[in-house]
């Protein structure tokens, strides 16, 4: 049963520029039919006054429920939080599965708002009541970073495709044809002919200035480049006009990279500022202590999670990241090809996936980044499909994240046998006490 079963309840269906609101009396009857408010100060104040009237009439606190709708609900949610304690946000997946319980297919704002109010009043569902402005800003900055990197990747793919047309074999020169050295080279010499006509010392200078690999690497790279350029002049398509497109892609890649660098600096300055909450900064450092997680990934995970107190068990965090298994069962049939739900945070899942990949690798010195997870991957998950095995590693990492945030202690890597023994000993001591 909902905690607000006996309370008056406000349901709000939020749109971009306006919202519909309905009010239920403590007994569940409709106290006030659906009415519309604009998203401006007058509209917000009108809603506040209507809620206060309800509280005065019934001498009870109201519970206010609205659906999470991207960014549209945030200003109203933030405003109502100034006046009322019981203001909550409902996950849209919950409202979607409950909105149309009638036989007829009916979908409109007036019906939806009553459905939201009814869900909040009668159903015991998970609710969100907090809006940390620091976490909100951090999440937006981090997500903007990923948008920029995705945009940059799009132009890098276009650049690689164009090079294969007019400069066949160029992709064999550099391990990454969009590396800094390659981009600087193509900025000045985008075609095979321009490379053949360029003074050798100019190209060597570009390599020395844009990489840290020294004169020997630069000389060898130039020799390979000159050979490939000669071949490309013969077998490549003579489309000098395509060089304009290459130059355009390079300009955009460099511009976006400059924006990414600026954004990363702003994120770092924000976290290190005096006004940034120490508790959030400490949680980032705790996550960063887990092998395979770098600072940016730690920031991403904390920005997506927000307050860890909203997750009572590791499995709640698993569902939040969307790596819980979907269920396909009916009668005696049980589907065995169940995929992860992917209903949680996409950016968080993306960061977690990269951590899982890093955790089952060795560093440049051949030392495992996370020996426990690497052994688990190679021994316990041997024979599993790669994606299934990686999801299992992601589950382990979530357990690490939950543990360090719950205990507020840095990660300590232990052999599983020793960890199990310590766990059993602690349980025995607790029972004796």
* pLDDT value of residue 428: 60
Q: Is residue 271 part of a domain?
A: no
pLDDT tens-digit map of 12-54: 999 989 999 999 999 999 999 999 999 999 999 999 999 999 9
Q: Which of 100, 131, 162 finishes a domain?
A: 131
The residue among 240, 266, 292 that closes a domain is 266
Looking at 116, 131, 146, the residue that finishes a domain is: 131
pLDDT at position 212 is 84
* Lookup: tokens for 193: 């002919």
Return the pLDDT at 68.
84
Rounded-to-integer distance, Cα 389 and Cα 412, Å: 23
pLDDT of amino acid 50: 94
pLDDT of residue 4: 84
What percent of the residues of the chain are helix, what percent strand, and what percent coil, each to the nearest 5?
A: 60, 10, 30
> How far apart are alpha carbons 361 and 358 in whole angstroms?
5
- Residue 4: inside a domain, yes or no? no
Rounded Cα–Cα distance for residues 280 and 39 (Å): 31
What sign does the CA torsion over 395, 396, 402, 406 have? positive
Check if the beta carbon of residue 253 is closer than 8 Å to that of residue 149: no
C-beta pairs of 240-247 under 8 Å, 24+ apart in sequence: 240/166, 240/191, 240/193, 242/162, 242/165, 242/166, 243/166, 243/190, 243/191, 243/194, 245/158, 245/162, 246/159, 246/162, 246/163, 246/166, 246/186, 246/190, 247/187, 247/190
282 lies in the same domain as 428 = yes
Do 235 and 378 have their domain in common?
A: no
What is residue 99's predicted lDDT score, i.e. its pLDDT? 54
Question: Is residue 188 domain-shared with residue 202, that is, in the same domain?
Answer: yes
239 CB-side CA count, 13 A: 14
> What does the alpha-carbon distance between residue 159 and residue 392 come to, in Å, rounded to a whole number?
36
184 and 87 within one domain: no
- Quote the pLDDT of residue 103: 43
DSSP 39: S
Q: Is residue 272 part of a domain?
A: no
- Residues of the chain predicted below pLDDT 50: 103-106, 330, 333, 335
Residue 325 DSSP label = B
CATH code, domain with 64 = 3.30.420.40
SS (H, E, C) 81-123: HCCCCCEEEECHHHHHHHCCCCCCCCCCHHHHHHHHHHHHHHC
Identify the pLDDT of residue 258.
Answer: 95
pLDDT in tens, 76-89: 999 999 999 899 98
- pLDDT tens digit sequence for 284-332: 999 999 999 999 999 999 999 988 887 888 998 998 899 987 655 545 5
Asked if residue 155 and residue 125 are part of one domain, the reply reads no
* 155 and 245 belong to one structural domain: yes
* pLDDT (0 to 100) of residue 231: 92
Which CATH number goes with the domain that contains 222?
Answer: 1.10.287
Asked if residue 382 is part of any domain, the answer here is: yes
Q: Looking at the domain assignment, is residue 85 inside a domain? A: yes
Q: What distance in Å separates the CA atoms of residue 36 and residue 25, rounded to the nearest whole number?
A: 19
pLDDT at 90: 86
CA 345 to CA 62: how far, in whole Å?
A: 31
Do 190 and 331 lie in one domain? The reply is no
Number of domains in the chain: 3
| Pair 117, 254 in one domain | no
Closest-CA residue to 385 (of 326, 336, 335, 327) = 336
- d(CA 157, CA 164) in angstroms, rounded, equals 11
pLDDT of the residue at 333: 45
Question: Which range of residues forms the domain containing residue 164?
Answer: 137-266
- Pair (256, 283) in one structural domain: no
Quick check: is 1 in a domain?
A: no
Does residue 60 fall inside a structural domain? yes
As a three-state string, the secondary structure of 354-409 is HHHHHHCCECCCCCECCHHHHHHHHHHCCCCCHHHHHHHHHHHHHHHHHHHHHHCC
Q: Has residue 2 been placed in a domain?
A: no
Q: What is the C-alpha separation between 189 and 178, in angstroms, rounded?
A: 14
Residues 359, 337, single domain; the answer is yes
Q: What is the pLDDT of residue 150?
A: 96
Identify the bridge partners of residue 30 per DSSP, sorted by sequence position. 24
The structure's pTM equals: 0.81
Let me know: does 123 contact 97? Beta carbons within 8 Å: no
Domain match, 364 and 348 both: yes
Residues 314 and 396 in one domain: yes
């Amino acid at each position: 049963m909902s905690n607000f079963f006996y309370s008056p309840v406000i349901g709000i269906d939020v749109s971009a520029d306006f919202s519909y609101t309905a009010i239920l009396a403590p007994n569940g009857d409709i106290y006030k039919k659906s009415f519309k408010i604009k998203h401006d100060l007058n509209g917000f104040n009108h809603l506040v006054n209507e809620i206060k009237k309800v509280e005065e009439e019934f001498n009870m606190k109201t519970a206010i429920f609205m659906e999470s709708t991207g960014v549209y609900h945030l200003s109203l949610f933030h405003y109502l939080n100034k006046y009322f304690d019981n203001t909550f946000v409902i996950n849209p997946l919950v409202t979607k599965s409950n909105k149309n319980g009638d036989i007829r297919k009916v979908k409109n704002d007036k019906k939806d708002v009553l459905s939201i109010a009814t869900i909040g009043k009668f159903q015991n569902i998970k609710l969100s009541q907090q809006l940390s402005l620091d976490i909100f800003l951090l999440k937006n900055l981090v997500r903007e970073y990923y948008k920029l990197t995705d945009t940059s990747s799009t132009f890098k793919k276009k650049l690689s495709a164009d090079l294969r047309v007019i400069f066949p074999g160029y992709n064999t020169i550099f391990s990454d044809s969009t590396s800094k050295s390659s981009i600087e080279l193509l900025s000045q010499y985008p075609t095979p002919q321009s490379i053949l006509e360029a003074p050798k010392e100019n190209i060597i200078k570009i390599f020395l200035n844009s990489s840290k690999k020294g004169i020997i690497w630069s000389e060898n790279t130039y020799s390979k480049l000159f050979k490939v350029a000669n071949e490309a002049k013969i077998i490549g398509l003579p489309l000098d006009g395509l060089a304009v497109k290459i130059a355009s892609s390079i300009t955009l890649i460099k511009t976006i990279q400059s924006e990414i660098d600026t954004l990363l600096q702003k994120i770092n300055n924000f976290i290190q500022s005096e006004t940034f909450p120490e508790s959030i900064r400490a949680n980032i450092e705790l996550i960063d202590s887990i092998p395979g997680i770098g600072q940016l990934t730690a920031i991403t995970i904390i920005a997506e999670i927000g307050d860890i107190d909203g997750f009572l068990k590791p499995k709640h965090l698993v569902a939040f990241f969307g790596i819980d298994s979907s269920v396909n069962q009916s009668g005696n049939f049980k589907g065995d090809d169940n995929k992860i739900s992917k209903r949680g945070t996409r950016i968080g899942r993306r960061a977690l996936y990269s951590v899982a990949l890093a955790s089952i690798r060795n560093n440049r010195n051949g030392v495992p980044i996370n020996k426990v997870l690497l052994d688990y991957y190679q021994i316990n998950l041997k024979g599993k499909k790669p994606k299934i095995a990686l999801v299992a590693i992601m589950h382990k990492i979530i357990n690490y994240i939950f543990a360090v945030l719950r205990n507020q202690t840095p990660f300590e890597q232990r052999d599983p046998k020793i960890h199990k023994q310590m766990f059993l000993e602690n349980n025995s001591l607790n029972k004796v006490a």
